[in-house]
Amino acid sequence: KTILSVKDLHASVDGIEILKGLNLEVKAGEIHAIMGLNGSGKSTFSKVLAGHPDYEVTSGTIEFNGQDISELEPHERATAGVFLAFQYPLEIPGVSNREFLRVAYNAHRKARGEEEIDVFDFDDLIEEKTEIVKMNVSFLDRSVNEGFSGGEKKRNEILQMALLEPSLAILDETDSGLDIDALKTVAEGVNKLATPNSANLVITHYQRLLNYIVPDYVHVMCDGHIIKTGSRELALALEAKGYEWLLEEQAVAS
Ligand code: ADP
Ligand code: MG
Ligand code: MG
């Protein structure tokens, strides 16, 4: 079953074309990694998938579970099952994490035509999820992300993911700054939450995250499209040799 099918996608921001004919096919049960140099368009792609309003799709298609989602609002995509982990998670002082997650969860239920969950049932559910992602329950009653360390914020994202059970989780890692604990947290979460019916798109500049998440496919982005697809070995080759050889290979081929 195909979860995501992107065909010849072109997208612009402020009239500047960033994505220039991107193709990608993701099937259920798969983990795909997207790598590439800074500025190659990785984050733009994740934002376009999530429906960020600053980015305009100028041509091409994005099909998600058989539905063209390119005209949907971000929240509609979210409730349809697209999950984008924030690079910089929001802090929301005065709103408890538990409350925030309950509202998010109910919004998803509502979009599916289901009733709101009973508060006590939600408490049982969320406590079960915190256990799965190995988060201390005390984090549920703190303000959303306020004073959380980088690793704790990451774990909180994974908790959101565990709760919302997206059919496509997109994790866009910043090109710097994630310490090894945070990396492991993300990886553990992705590995633990992977199901045969869902897929993961892991975006990373460095190979090191892929030591913990073993992708089925590795794609390399350059100048707004995917220039090479391979297995995990491709990520290792990039780490060992850098990106230059690949860019030269491309130049020779074209
Ligand atoms: P990556 O995540 O691979 O480092 P990005 O998607 O962040 O790449 O950026 C790709 C290119 O698009 C860069 O040249 C960047 O400057 C440009 N870009 C991204 N977002 C914007 C924006 N909001 N306004 C102008 N340029 C942007
Ligand atoms: Mg960047
Ligand atoms: Mg980026």
Rounded CA Rg of the chain: 18
Q: Residue with structure tokens 């997650």?
A: 101
Concatenated DSSP letters for 204-215? -SSSGGGGTS--
Q: Give CA separation, 66 vs 4, 14, 58, 143, in Å.
A: 8, 29, 20, 38
Residue 114: DSSP 8-state? P
- Here the ipTM equals 0.94
Q: pLDDT (tens digit, 9 = 90+) per residue, 28-72? A: 999 999 999 999 999 999 999 999 999 999 999 999 999 999 999
> What pLDDT, on the 0 to 100 scale, is given for residue 179?
77
Predicted structure pTM score: 0.92
- Compute the distance from residue 243 Cα to the ligand 2 centre, in Å: 15
Rounded Cα gap, residues 146 and 183, in angstroms: 20
* CB within 8 Å of 108: residues ≥ 6 apart: 78, 79, 164
Pocket of ligand 1 contains residue 18 by CB under 6 Å: yes
Least confident of 86-90, 129-133, 203-207: 86-90
**193-247, pLDDT tens digit by residue?**
999 999 999 998 878 888 888 899 999 999 999 999 999 999 999 989 988 888 8
Residue 42 CB–ligand 1 contact under 6 Å: yes
38 lines ligand 1 (CB under 6 A): yes
CATH code for the domain in which residue 215 is found:
3.40.50.300
Give the count of domains, the chain. 1
Residue nearest atom 21 of ligand 1, based on CA coordinates: 13
